[in-house]
Chains A and B, each alone.
Chain A
């Protein structure tokens, strides 16, 4: 009986020694969302970098303890140092006021100072304004859904690894029942997933470091390739903070592999304006409103295997109409003429006609397939297309 007891003790202790090595990577994989921050200042702070990696893995566990000690800490600190005030002594509202005015890099650094500041600096409302300011134009609902999927899948991977450990641990408990330690294990589950993984700060950092590839649309893809002028295609983008540009991955065109384009600048990007995936037909709801002079975007693809791109055009007059505003009855007609004025007048891409009453996907293998239409009401969108107008007329 005693020998059995000693044996389980020994195996217990041996298991103990091996366990933390497995537990840290699971934790660290969650932390990689936060760690590879490329600002030199952060890495230059060598004295704290070791403390930070320690502190970050410990801080959720020590949060309650630190917040109680916070006031003691600063007063203890005062006695030891010159007795002057520190920023930590300022009232909450004032500290909030200061933190709101910090740019993202500094806010991130402040989060590494102590656990009290960490709790203040990771709060969503501070990072929300930074998100909107920098990423608001290119991040849309599709990107947000993609982000949710991304963190859910990472959490699954994390849980899988930890689940294996837990299984072994539970087996050991069966040999040596310690119900009090088991309850401690259950309690720590709540703290196991660190708060930032789900937060806007984590999202911001994942975007900045390029770890998270988000869906958006690129104007004039492949460096203004002539076959794609004045079009906008869906792509997965990842950010490079050193060059302040993106790398775009386009979905494959049929059997042709997906293209990759580097150094895409901010001005060539936009969030998806409608929630239609690139292979799906957009349901047009503006057909009855279309009048000559309206700016539109229409889906078009070469053949049915390819994803749609959005192409810019203008509603034109019917052939029978002479363009006189007073006598124009084009908006009553069942046919709508779309003009793509970037092409030369004789070109087959210059015009297309669509049926106002009943428009679905139309076309053929030679001229490609025209899909859903979107009317442009926003001046900014229209001027964006005008800025990208090609210098030469296309064929």
Chain B
């Protein structure tokens, strides 16, 4: 069993995280950086804060361990772990969005799928109450702007005979 290399990741607020290479390459972005030999020193991740990076590393570790395990961790168990990881009262909205952006930047497909599915489920569950702090469409403001724009256009086009 080859001893895996340790990779250092530095978050935007200067904190360093040491992880095994197998965990780090769950992220396609980091994988390409390592392949391009940019990883001798710490890999800087200017778009990811330490709080989010810690969570991402926790996710990647779990998934790497699950695929490596001798006794084949049950798919159901992993799904249950994912659900607990992303659970609405554990993760507030800002963190969820930060996780999505981090997963997108770091190119971790499974985390991106998980977080996007969570947002989709939230949309399904809270079908448009006007002010939904989770969805944060700030719909009332957008509404007013849109109505104003529409009104001016409608009046303008009335004069120009356009239907």
A: which residues have CB within 8 A of B? 16, 19-20, 23-24, 26-27, 41, 45, 47-48, 51, 54-55, 57-59, 61-62, 65-66, 69, 73, 76-77, 80-81, 84-91, 93-94, 97-98, 101-103, 105-106, 109-110, 113-115, 162, 165, 169, 181, 184-185, 188, 192
Contact = CB atoms under 8 A, between A and B. Distances in A.
B136 interface: yes
A47 B112 CA distance: 33
A185 B160 contact: yes
A104 B100 CA distance: 23
Contact of B162 (A54, A90, A188): A188
B148 to A, nearest CB: 10
A162 B94 contact: no
Nearest to B142: A114
B69 interface: no
A77 B135 CA distance: 14
Contact of B128 (A45, A91, A102): A45
B129 to A, nearest CB: 9
B80 interface: no
Given A16-B161, A61-B162, A106-B127, 16 more contacts: A16-B158, A23-B163, A24-B163, A45-B128, A58-B149, A58-B150, A61-B153, A69-B149, A80-B141, A84-B136, A86-B138, A97-B112, A98-B120, A101-B116, A102-B124, A115-B146
B145 A188 contact: no
B157 interface: yes
Nearest to A81: B138
B153 A20 contact: no
Contacts of B159: 16
Given A87-B136, A94-B100, A113 B162 contact: no
Q: Which 7 A-B pairs have the closest CB atoms?
A: A23-B163, A101-B120, A58-B150, A188-B162, A97-B116, A86-B136, A41-B127
Contacts of A188: 157, 160, 162-163
Interface residues of B, number: 40
Given A45-B128, A81-B141, A86-B138, A98 B119 contact: yes
Contact of B143 (A19, A48, A88, A106): A48
24 contacts: A16-B158, A16-B159, A19-B158, A24-B163, A41-B128, A55-B146, A55-B147, A61-B157, A61-B162, A62-B153, A66-B146, A84-B93, A86-B138, A87-B119, A97-B113, A110-B123, A113-B137, A162-B163, A169-B161, A184-B160, A185-B160, A185-B161, A185-B162, A188-B160
A361 B65 CA distance: 68
B162 A184 contact: yes
A77 B141 CA distance: 7
Contacts of A48: 128, 130, 139, 143
Nearest to B109: A97
A45 B45 CA distance: 42
B81 interface: no
B145 A73 contact: yes
Nearest to A58: B150
A133 to B, nearest CB: 15
B94 A73 contact: no
A85 B153 contact: no
A80 B142 CA distance: 11
Contacts of A185: 160-162
Contacts of A93: 104
B154 interface: yes
B12 interface: no
A86 B137 CA distance: 6
A88 B141 CA distance: 14
A91 B104 contact: yes
Contact of A109 (B117, B128, B149): B128
B86 interface: no
A250 to B, nearest CB: 38
Nearest to B141: A77
B51 to A, nearest CB: 15
Contacts of B151: 54
Contacts of A57: 154
Interface-centre pick from A59, A87, A102, A110 (highest chain B CB count, 10 A): A87
Contacts of B97: 85, 89-90
Interface in B51-93: 93
Nearest to B125: A106
Contacts of B39: none
Contacts of B150: 54-55, 58-59, 62
A87 B138 contact: no
B94 to A, nearest CB: 6
A45 B127 CA distance: 9
Nearest to B121: A101
A101 B117 contact: yes
B22 interface: no
A129 B93 CA distance: 29
A302 to B, nearest CB: 51
Contact of A51 (B119, B135, B147, B157): B147
Contacts of A62: 146, 149-150, 153
